Amino acid sequence: MLRQVNPRAKHAVLHIPLELHRAVTRDVASGAELADTRRLRILVLGPLGSLHVEHMAMAAHDHGHDVVVGGAPWTGMPAAPLIDDRIVVSHPTWPTARWMHRLLRATRPDLVHAHWMPIAALAMLYGASPVIVSAWGSDVLRASRLQRIAWRLVVRYADMLLASSGALVDELHELGAPAERTQLVNWGVDLRAFSPPTADREVLRAALDLPPGPMIISPRSDNEIYNADIILRAFERVARERSDVTLVLLRTPADGKDLGPLRHPERVRKIGRVPYERMQDYYRAADVCVSIASSDSSPRSVWESMACGTPCVVSDIPWVHELITDQEHALIVSIDEESVAAATRRLLDDRPLAARISAEARRLVEQERDHDREMKRLFAIYEQVVREGGRRSRLLRVLSPAAVAVGIVQAIVRRSLARLRNR
């Protein structure tokens, strides 16, 4: 079993590779056993604190693979409980190029699964192979012109590309990704954890110390693409007509900054980030879930809310129309306060409609977004990529040592300049 490495270790860049090398060497000594059980050594690269990275790493571990995770928390993202004692976590040390190069040499992975296109580009440049790349959405859908040029190289040389929606698959094809190396694999929903309520919603709200009466939930962050300001203004329209309704904002700054003045502050609850294992409690307590992102790719929060039997109001963007039918599985609206308010009001007032959408949405999640089924597909792709071997080009083989050297020099120069400026 690989040992957990203390991320606060003063000289982690020196000690992590040694520890990983010893662990991997022990596994290689029993190579026949690994071959018989298809036990793979997988290096997962991505932002720590992300549930996508955490859950895929844990799923691979629980499936019997040896997993190492490498990455750093995104700015503003809370530290991950990520992985417990079962999985090694390697935190980047300075300079990043040397850390990545040593991590790859120490783990000698059968494959690298890189999350988020910029991280995938670096991994491939620094010598990772074979590489599975997971695009998440905005890294492709909102990429700049310069980024799209870089992503064209990523999709050309990656061994497999994964996307969570057909819309994102189409964008990868636009960048030049070959159809035979592009797969739609969704994050999936744990259907046992996320299930419809068995108690009255009023009872569930009381248990969460929320006021009685209808509840609207907004589970997305305060990033501008999720349009929290429009959700607030839409709620104010509904609140003018109903004095019993409450808006609960999850994953939004708990102190309310950036939200602006509130007309009904006593009826807006800013909960902040909620531990993932408690998210289902809030979904079950809600009468309506609102998610009106301007750019998205099959968000987990929507599918999890639907799995909990909470009818959703979702924005009219491409991923939605792949499986969701308006007025059958959710209400699909344009991104403006009048449309969002009208849809929310309709679900609150027309309880038979809300109940029908709730039931159909749950059925759709069971059919199309079962987490266990999606992970089995992912692990079959892992085996396929390992069986076929890396297709790393001669160009990348030549560039990788140079890229590592340039990265180290660049880091040293930047640090030296920063020191000079601070004198």
pLDDT at 274 over 90: no
Tokens 């759709």 sit on residue: 364
> Mean pLDDT, to the nearest integer, of 255-261?
58
Percent of the chain with pLDDT over 90: 64
pLDDT, tens only, 74-89: 765 555 555 556 788 9
Out of 324, 350, 365, a domain closes at 365
Is residue 102 in a domain? yes
pLDDT, tens only, 326-366: 999 999 999 999 999 999 999 999 999 999 999 999 999 99
Q: What does the pLDDT read at residue 97?
A: 79
C-alpha to C-alpha distances, 168 to 164, 201, 319, nearest whole angstrom: 7, 36, 8
Q: Give CA–CA dist 197/195, Å, rounded.
A: 7
Is residue 54 in a domain? yes
Q: Are residues 215 and 259 in the same domain?
A: yes
pLDDT at 282 over 80: yes
Q: Are residues 302 and 277 in the same domain?
A: yes
pLDDT at 30 over 50: no
Is residue 249 in a domain? yes
pLDDT at 256 over 60: no
Tokens 């979904």 sit on residue: 283
Q: Pairing state of beta strands 246-250 and 288-291?
A: unpaired
Nearest residue to 333 (alpha-carbon basis) of 217, 214, 224, 234: 234
Q: Are residues 211 and 338 in the same domain?
A: yes
Out of 365, 382, 414, a domain closes at 365
Domain tally for the chain? 2
Q: Give CA–CA dist 136/143, Å, rounded.
A: 12
Q: Are residues 20 and 168 in the same domain?
A: yes
Q: What does the pLDDT read at residue 126?
A: 83
> Mean pLDDT, to the nearest integer, of 271-299?
94
> Does 17 or 280 have the greater pLDDT score?
280
CATH code of the domain covering residue 171 = 3.40.50.2000
Phi, psi of 376 (to 5 degrees): -60, -40
**Which two tokens mark 17?**
């590779």
Query: Cβ contacts of residue 273 below 8 Å, gap of 6+?
Result: 78, 250, 251
Is residue 7 in a domain? no
The domain of 290 spans 201-365
pLDDT, tens only, 377-397: 999 999 999 999 876 655 455
Q: Are residues 98 and 138 in the same domain?
A: yes
pLDDT at 199 over 50: yes
**Which two tokens mark 298?**
């099959």
Q: Are residues 17 and 92 in the same domain?
A: yes
Q: Give CA–CA dist 183/212, Å, rounded.
A: 45
Q: What does the pLDDT read at residue 34?
A: 39
Q: Are residues 30 and 158 in the same domain?
A: yes
Q: Are residues 315 and 394 in the same domain?
A: no
Instruction: Collapse the DSSP code of 140 into the 3-class scheme (helix H, G, I; strand E, B; otherwise coil) and give the result.
Output: helix
Is residue 1 in a domain? no
Q: What does the pLDDT read at residue 151?
A: 95
Q: Are residues 386 and 327 in the same domain?
A: no
Structure confidence at residue 213 as a pLDDT band (50, 70, 90): very high
Q: What does the pLDDT read at residue 400?
A: 52
Q: Are residues 229 and 83 in the same domain?
A: no
Out of 327, 343, 365, a domain closes at 365
Q: Give CA–CA dist 91/6, Å, rounded.
A: 9
Nearest residue to 309 (alpha-carbon basis) of 191, 136, 169: 191
Q: What does the pLDDT read at residue 415?
A: 67
> Mean pLDDT, to the nearest integer, of 172-184?
96
Is residue 217 in a domain? yes
> Mean pLDDT, to the nearest integer, of 103-120?
94
Is residue 194 in a domain? no
The strands making up 246-250's β-sheet, listed across from edge to edge, are 268-272, 246-250, 215-218, 288-291, 312-315, 331-333
Is residue 2 in a domain? no
pLDDT at 258 over 90: no
Nearest residue to 53 (alpha-carbon basis) of 252, 300, 289: 300
Q: Are residues 211 and 317 in the same domain?
A: yes
Separate counts of helices (H) and strands (E) for the chain = 16, 13
Q: Are residues 400 and 256 in the same domain?
A: no
pLDDT at 152 over 70: yes
Q: Pairing state of beta strands 288-291 and 160-163?
A: unpaired
pLDDT at 174 over 50: yes
